[in-house]
Amino acid sequence: MCARAEDAALLERMEVLANDRICEGVGIVTLAAPRIAASVRPGQFVHLKVGSGTSVLLRRPFSVHRASGDAIEILYQVLGRGTRELSLRGAGDALDAIGPLGNGWTMPDGLTHALLVAGGLGAAPMGMLAERLSQRGVAVSFAQGAPNVSRLVARGLFESVSRRYECSTDDGSEGSRGLVTEVSARLLEAHPPDIVYACGPEAMQRAVASQALAAGVPCQVSLERLMACGVGACLSCVVGTVRGPERACFEGPVFDAADVLWDPSEIPPGH
């Protein structure tokens, strides 16, 4: 007599199959997760309990980078306590996960050409997206930015599924020296896409969004907020939208850039 169970059980313990360092401070953890691998949509996330005990109390949200067979991959960067804990897990360990959560990228019918713009770890939610788009026959242009060549994470994947791949690095060690927004501006003009997908630091997403919208191209962004519950209950993670505040964990993390109020003072009350 479970009242209003809107969904299947979302909570489970997953076995770590592998946890590989791919460059300084960045790793990919592979989890045995048949249920999620089968149902996750690009841009959705899992909410992971990375530590034991209460000293790292809250879960951490991580995008599903790729899903294949019975496993999912998470691309992570060691930033603080939670991701440090995650980096210490090894094959055979178990992790407690909730997911898949949130609304992912929308792939409208009839797309022929999509521009994906990833800055830094913004590459994480782009893996499945790029793969699915190319499987559907959509031409993918990919603009990737990072501090240096070794941080162009998942570059091999992106190059392999993209029609066109261009990158920039802060130090010029690969691609053009400078910001990925310069690359995206160039690609937008040279090869106008039907849609732009952006993920990365918020200032970068905001800049890409304004480039796209100015060019009359729809744009989706995946916004990060600190999340406590991850399931829509606590209102930790709100994003200002034209419809009022919305939850990054529930209505998001992907939003239509045209709906996002980037400046908090624009946000109307209510929900």
Partner 1 sequence: MVDMSAKIGSLILRNPVMTASGTFGSGREYARFVDLEKLGALVTKGVSLRPWRGNSSPRIAETASGMLNSIGLQNPGVEVFCERDLAWLADIDVPVIVNVSGHSVEEYVAVIERLEREKSVAAYEVNISCPNVDAGGMAFGTECAPAAEVTRACRRASSRPLIVKLSPNVTDVAAIAKAVESEGADAVSLINTLLGMSIDASTRRPRLARVVGGLSGPAVKPVALRMVWQVAAAVRVPVVGMGGIMSAEDAVEFLLAGATAVAIGTANFVDPASTTRILSGLEAYCRDNAVERVADLTGALVTEG
Residues in 194-253 that interact with ligand FES by CB under 6 A: 227-230, 232-237, 247, 249-250
62 touches, from ligand FAD, a second copy, ligand FES, none (C-beta below 5 to 8 Å by class): ligand FAD
Q: Which C-beta is closer to ligand FAD: that of 39 or that of 112?
A: 39
Element (H, E) at 38: helix 34-39
Measure the CA dihedral 116/103/194/187, to 10°: -20
Residues in 96-135 that interact with partner 1 by CB under 8 A: 96, 98
Q: Report the alpha-carbon distance of residue 97 to residue 1 in Å, rounded.
A: 25
- In the bound complex, what is the minimum distance in angstroms from residue 191's beta carbon to a second copy? 50
Binding window for partner 1 (CB under 8 A); candidates: 15-23, 143-151, 172-180, 262-270: 262-270
Instruction: List, as one string, the DSSP characters of 96-121.
Output: EEEEEESB-----TT--EEEEEEEGG
Single out the residue of 4, 7, 8, 55 in contact with a second copy (rule: CB under 8 A): 55
Q: What x/- string results for residues 157 through 186 when contact with a second copy is judged by CB under 8 A?
A: ------------------------------
Q: Using alpha carbons, select from 149, 16, 141, 155 the residue that is nearest to residue 74.
A: 16
Does the footprint of partner 1 cover residue 4 (CB under 8 A)?
yes
H helix intervals, 95-217: 126-135, 155-161, 180-190, 202-214
Measure the CA dihedral 159/163/167/173, to 10°: 50
Q: What x/- string results for residues 41 through 80 when contact with partner 1 is judged by CB under 8 A?
A: --------x----xxxxxx---------------------
